[in-house]
Each structure stands twice: as C-alpha cells, then as structure tokens.
Amino acid sequence: MIDYSRHYSHWHQDTPEHAAKEAAGCVRYLELLDLPRSNQVLDIGCGMGFFLLAAQQYGFASVTGIDQSPQQVSAATRRGVNAELVDDTPLWLEQRVAAFDAIFMFDVLEHIPVDQQIGSLARIHGALRPGGCLFIRVPNASSAFAGRMRWGDWTHTSAFSEHSLDFVLYNAGFRDIVVRDDHFGRLPIWVPRLGRQGFLRGIHYGLRRLQAIAEFGTGEGGKMPLTLNILAVARKAHATA
C-alpha cells in the first residue's frame, strides 16, 4: 500500500494547533446543514480527523470516521475521535445498511476510479437512512486551477463540474441535489476587511466570470461555480408507503 501521508503532509501538519484550526474551519459545513445533534454521522476518508473533531465539539453524540491510511487513522485516534482503519470501504458500507443519518465525504470521490464512482455512491446511498443526506466536496473542473487540482495529486482520477457531480449523484439514487461553490469558508470577496487577498480574489473571480460569460453566455457562464472545489448536498428519498 502506498503511503498517502507523503502527499497529505504538503497541506496538513500533525500538530494540535493545525488540528484545531482545521476543525474550526469545518464548522461552517455543519452550520450549512444544521443537522440534529442526535444524528448518526459518518465521515468517509476522515484523514487526520479534523472534521470528526469539529463534529464532536459541535455536539454530535455519534460520529464515526473511516480511512484506508494507517498513518492518518493513527493521527486521528490520538486526538480522541472515533476513526477506524477500513481496507474495503464498499464491503464496510454494505454491512451497514440504513445505519447513518448523514455522511460526509471531503476530497474522496476524485480518488475513486471513474467506472466505480456511481457504484460507490450507491453503496453510500444504501448506508443512509431514508431522508438522510450526503455532503460531498470535490475538485472543480471549471476553476482557473482545475489542472493543478486534478493532477496535483497522483491518486486523483477525475475532477467534476456541477453537471457531472449532479449526474453521478442522481444515477446513484440521490435526489434533492444542490451543487454550489466553496470559498473555503472565507467571507464574500467584496468584504473590505479581507484586505489585499480579498481585493485580489475579487479581481480574479470578476475576470474569470467575464471569461465564463464570454464562452458560455450569461445563463451558463453567469452561474457556474468557479472556486477550486465544489460542494454538493444530496438526499436519500423518504420511504413511501
């Protein structure tokens, strides 16, 4: 098995300070969904446990994480979160039908071979209870740095537009799918107190939006997500009588 921690270390450090910072950043996703604290929550590809730590601190009583990396699971468990080393994720999910109210998957789907993505999502769908939701983040194929996001990680197999992400989720059985941009929790780009970085980001996204409109028209180009990543929330339909 390859040691994925080699790549992960470019972005994350195994320190209490970094874990606290990343966990604080994850809270915005929990706030976006406003889930009951009694929900059974699963994080697929939990890494060093940053989201698990955030969910635990946010008040969720049952939070579980799984990952295929021994190094990252070890780092997560040292933080006192429930992380499990799982070699066969599809089998693990098949053994937990309708076990979870909410499943989170940050930066994972793009690692799965394209011909296995819909099947993998279908197993996640099966592991959700009726009315449960999947929250997912993937690289955005429409961003200015789509090539770097797609090829910067040797284990990536794909990137997604809002349309292709909707497509795989729908064909895996999900409904009520909403795809949106992800500004990594930063304030809107026009807020003055963001300073120089906010000003530069405002120029960047403004020009990028004009380029998108020039290529695709105001309908498509005016609304396509342009951030490095995109987010989706998708739900499993309630059982019908």
Write down the pLDDT at residue 16: 85
Q: Does 197 score more than 70 pLDDT?
A: no
Highest mean pLDDT among 3-12, 23-32, 157-166, 186-195: 157-166
Neighbours of 210 (CB within 10 A): 12
Query: Is residue 160 within 8 Å of residue 141, measured between CB atoms?
Result: yes
pTM here is 0.91
pLDDT band at 238 (very low <50, low <70, confident <90, very high): confident
The dihedrals phi and psi of 50, each to the nearest 5 degrees, come to: -65, -45
Is the model more confident about 73 or about 187? 73
Residue among 182, 185, 111 at smallest CA distance from 143: 182
Q: What is the pLDDT of residues 122-154, one digit of tens each?
A: 999 999 999 999 999 999 999 999 999 999 999
The dihedrals phi and psi of 78, each to the nearest 5 degrees, come to: -65, -20
Q: Picking from 9-13, 173-177, 186-190, which range would have the lowest pLDDT averaged per residue?
A: 186-190
pLDDT band at 240 (very low <50, low <70, confident <90, very high): low
pLDDT band at 187 (very low <50, low <70, confident <90, very high): very low
Separation CA 59–CA 125 (nearest Å)? 24
> What Å distances lie between residue 123 and 11, 82, 216, CA to CA?
29, 21, 35
State percent of the chain over pLDDT 90. 75
Structure tokens at 2: 């390859």
Write down the pLDDT at residue 190: 44
Which uninterrupted H or E stretch holds 231? strand 229-235
Average pLDDT over residues 211-226: 96
Residue among 44, 45, 51 at smallest CA distance from 22: 51
Q: What is the pLDDT of residues 16-27, one digit of tens each?
A: 898 899 999 899
Q: Which domains does the chain have, with CATH numbers?
A: 5-188+225-235 (3.40.50.150)
Q: Tokens 């090539």 identify what position?
A: 147
Query: Is residue 111 within 8 Å of residue 181, measured between CB atoms?
Result: no
Query: Is residue 102 within 8 Å of residue 64, measured between CB atoms?
Result: no
**Mean pLDDT, the chain, integer:** 91
